[in-house]
Amino acid sequence: MKDLPELVQDIVEATKKHEQYRDKECINMIASEGLKSPAVNQMLDLSHDLDCRYAEGENDAQGHVKKRYYQGQKYMSQIEDLATDIMKSLFNTTWADVRLVSGTHANLATFKGLSLASKNNKMVVTPLSCGAHISHDYTGLAGNILGLDNINHVYNIDEFNIDAEKSAYVIRAAKPGIVTFGGSLFLFPHPIKELRAVCEEVGAYIAYDASHVLGLIAGGQFQDPLREGADFITSSTHKTFPGPQGGVIMGNPNSPVMEKAVKKIQFAIFPLSASSTHLGRLPALSIAALEMKVFGGELAIQIVKNAQTAGQYLCENGVKVLAENKGFTKSHQIAVDIRSFGGGNKIAQDLEDANIILNKNLLPYDDQSSKGDPSGLRIGFQDVTRRGFGEGDIKHLCDLMLDVIKSKRKPAEVKEDVLALRKEFGKIKYGFQNVEEALNYIKKG
Ligand SMILES: Cc1ncc(COP(=O)(O)O)c(C=O)c1O
């Protein structure tokens, strides 16, 4: 191994190369990644001291700071309360908690809190193979760390959705403490409305994992989980919601049962699972929330339009895009079955060689042991949309992808066109260019 200073030199070099490669030279289509605006990045740069601080303690029923254990908190408590209120205001809730450092942390605290509140260890979830996140599953956080028993929703592969009628039977029979919705391969709104009554009947809390679609929800697209009957939203803050990496939980506690749930979730955050809450991200999160309030509607509409355009175009050009009968998607992603062109592994790698970055993905009908070479690709459109791609640009990008997928041209050759296309989109749209611009926007009312 090299000595430490040389290793540091290498890591600085690798970081510079990464920033150039992924931010300037690649087209990013990974559906779980966000794109921060210059204003959000600048706010992160203005929050370096906050990044060193601790704010351990309890919060109250509104999600505000109640008790802190260290001194020096006067502005930190204000910052946390403001970030909490900003998220509450954007998503129209009476309670939020912004202390979660990731979406997985939000799930951990919510699942733990709700299992304590319901005194019930059973949780109905979407099958992992049908798009749930590993943190929902018995093989991941839910089972292996929290010790929850998973029972699967019934999933209809043709509809690419939970089968509400059949899942109602499952929920009635299992009587779980928690029913979850939401996921990672997430094309269509989940049937919360349809299952709310049966969840109430058995006394189950509904937790909706909005990690992938939070930005779409902020923009009034996809679905409105809390108004459709979810008790809590858990989420990352850095996918379609273009904030810094972090997590959030939100809800409208309006009954003793919900107030009890909030208390247990707060207990699961502190003292159970958080010490440092990474406060340096909160001002930047707040700038991203303002961007979603101002530009979120327009952005969300264009993201979904771009995803649907790509679905239609790839399909017309001989690629099997899932859910054709349903218009391909209502979210920021599409799923394609790429077996006839060599499988997920090969095509994802070939596209990477052309500087188009996406991920191979298991499809609901795949053998779950074929994770290494699944049938599918998951393609996300939130990044390119924020960079300003419209439908015409999406078709051009699809043409480049088709050249690779159909082996019409070598990936290295396509890469030259990808670099040229990427250069055309130098500015981030649907956001502020700096913090001053955000403040001027506010001043103008
Ligand atoms: C549905 C869902 N929930 C939770 C997570 C985990 O979020 P984080 O990476 O913020 O922990 C992901 C990650 O992609 C996800 O897709």
pLDDT at 373 over 90: no
> Percent of the chain beyond pLDDT 90?
98
Q: Does 275 map to a domain? A: yes
Q: Does 20 map to a domain? A: no
Integer Cα distance of 436 and 281 in angstroms: 18
Percent of the chain as helix, strand, coil, to the nearest 5: 50, 15, 35
Which of 251, 285, 319 is the last residue in one of the domains?
285
- Cα–ligand 1 centroid distance for 392 (angstroms): 31
| Domain of residue 241, CATH code | 3.40.640.10
What are the DSSP E strand ranges found in 183-280?
205-209, 232-236, 247-251
Query: 35 falls in which pLDDT band (50, 70, 90)?
Result: very high
pLDDT tens digits for range 206-246: 999 999 999 999 999 999 999 999 999 999 999 999 999 99
pLDDT at 281 over 90: yes
Which of 264, 285, 306 is the last residue in one of the domains?
285
Is the CB–ligand 1 distance for residue 182 below 6 Å? yes
For residues 193 and 266, membership in a common domain is answered with yes
Helix (H, G, I), strand (E, B) or coil at 256: helix
Q: Which of 110, 208, 212 to mutate to test the pocket of ligand 1 (most atoms within 8 A of CB)?
A: 212
pLDDT tens digits for range 302-356: 999 999 999 999 999 999 999 999 999 999 999 999 999 999 999 999 999 999 9
Question: Mean pLDDT across the stretch 401-430?
Answer: 98
pLDDT at 369 over 90: no
For residues 314 and 390, membership in a common domain is answered with yes
Listed in sequence order, the residues at least 6 apart from 399 whose beta carbon sits closer than 8 Å to its beta carbon are none
| Backbone angle region of 323, left / alpha / beta, with phi > 0 → left and psi within -120 to 50 → alpha | left
Q: Name which residue sits closest to atom 5 of ligand 1, judged by CA.
A: 103
Integer Cα distance of 152 and 357 in angstroms: 32
* Phi, psi at 85, each rounded to 5°: -65, -35
Q: Does 445 map to a domain? A: no
Strand 247-251, strand 232-236: pairing: antiparallel
For residues 231 and 332, membership in a common domain is answered with no
Question: What per-residue confidence (pLDDT) applies to 17?
Answer: 98
For residues 359 and 417, membership in a common domain is answered with yes
Is the CB–ligand 1 distance for residue 135 below 6 Å? yes
For residues 181 and 316, membership in a common domain is answered with no
Question: Mean pLDDT across the stretch 279-302?
Answer: 98
Mean pLDDT of the chain: 97
Is the CB–ligand 1 distance for residue 229 below 6 Å? no
Q: Which of 33, 102, 211, 248 to mutate to test the pocket of ligand 1 (most atoms within 8 A of CB)?
A: 211
Is the CB–ligand 1 distance for residue 380 below 6 Å? no
For residues 246 and 299, membership in a common domain is answered with no
Which of 236, 264, 285 is the last residue in one of the domains?
285
Q: Does 330 map to a domain? A: yes
For residues 245 and 323, membership in a common domain is answered with no
- Cα–ligand 1 centroid distance for 211 (angstroms): 6
pLDDT tens digits for range 39-78: 999 999 999 999 999 999 999 999 999 999 999 999 999 9
| Domain of residue 374, CATH code | 3.90.1150.10
Q: Does 359 map to a domain? A: yes
Q: Name which residue sits closest to atom 8 of ligand 1, judged by CA.
A: 103
Q: Does 122 map to a domain? A: yes
In total, how many domains does the chain have?
A: 2
For residues 180 and 324, membership in a common domain is answered with no
Domain that includes residue 123, residue range: 48-285
Is the CB–ligand 1 distance for residue 104 below 6 Å? yes
> What's the Cα-to-Cα distance from 250 to each of 6, 266, 291, 292, rounded to whole Å?
45, 12, 19, 17
Is the CB–ligand 1 distance for residue 359 below 6 Å? no
